[in-house]
Amino acid sequence: MQLFLTIYFFLLGTILGSFYNVVGLRLPKGGLFKESRSFCPTCKRTLKAYELIPILSFVIQKGRCRTCKANISFLYPAMELLSGVMFAYSFLVFGFTSQLILALLLLSMFHIIVVTDLVYMIIPDRLLLLFFVLFLIYRFLDPLDPWWSSLAGGAIGLFLTAAVIIASRGGMGGGDMKLFGMIGFVLGWELFLLTFFLSTLIGAVISGLLLLLKVWKRKEPIPFGPFIVIASCISFFSGKMIIGWYVHTFF
């Protein structure tokens, strides 16, 4: 039964991931519901249902449009696969608990943020507002212990990031600040501080590698949202274990 449910959540993640790809690509342009059907961004042909099967359609078509032969971005199947894996992993970790609902909400938001930030370097306010309402309802029904940890985490997230923005003269964007504030509210102040530390560490390492490999030039802007997402996932799934290890080892 568990194997069946794991496969179910994997498939659910890939299907929703395909939809989140579309949301991430259309939302910053204001065209989320202007086009009811998916289409090739190059030749504008409306795609058939069998061309929209998550992951498989990309593999079968060898990453190209059937009509114009334009390359299909690898971002599509990669994010669909990642969503499937993370949905299944969330079920294995939390089972049918309230934490599973929170995990799926976070992963859904993170998926869209990664797409919008990688493609447009934007984290849309409308997206953050929608999920903030959902997280507010969730935390009202299932508050942290202590309850004020959410408020402290949100406040620290906003003010700490604002200080970084001021000190770095725009090294982070307003979208990053709002996202950090929301993560602080959802995870609480302790896990937020871990998330902030990990995101800066991961960002520094990956940016350094990209710079070393000459994929990225020093003065070019780089989206920070994906680093926040990676750090948040680590904190959400393993943060308490990491903090416990740190306290036990150094104190």
The residue segments making up the domain with residue 247 are 143-251
Q: Is residue 248 assigned to a domain?
A: yes
- What per-residue confidence (pLDDT) applies to 84? 97
Task: Provide the pLDDT for residue 109.
Answer: 98
* Tens-level pLDDT at each residue, the chain (251 residues): 899 999 999 999 999 999 999 999 889 887 665 556 676 666 766 777 776 788 888 888 877 777 777 787 889 899 999 999 999 999 999 999 999 999 999 999 999 999 999 999 999 999 999 999 999 999 999 999 999 999 999 999 999 999 888 887 766 788 899 999 999 999 999 999 999 999 999 999 998 898 888 777 777 788 899 999 999 999 999 999 999 998 888 87
Classify residue 207: in a domain, yes or no.
yes
172 inside domain: yes
Tell me the pTM. 0.93
Q: How many domains are there within the chain?
A: 1
Assess if residue 77 is contained within a domain. no
Amino acid letter, residue 65: C
**Does some domain include residue 93?**
no
In a domain, 114, yes or no: no
Nearest C-alpha neighbor of 22 from the set 42, 44, 37, 43:
37
What's the pLDDT at 36? 63
Contact yes or no for 91/5 (Cβ under 8 A): yes
> With b meaning 16 or more CB within 10 Å and e meaning fewer, what string describes 138-170?
ebeeeebeeeebbbbbbebbbebbeebbeeeee
The secondary structure of 86-138, three-state, reads HHHHHHHHHCCCHHHHHHHHHHHHHHHHHHHHHHHCCCCHHHHHHHHHHHHHH
Q: Is residue 243 part of a domain?
A: yes
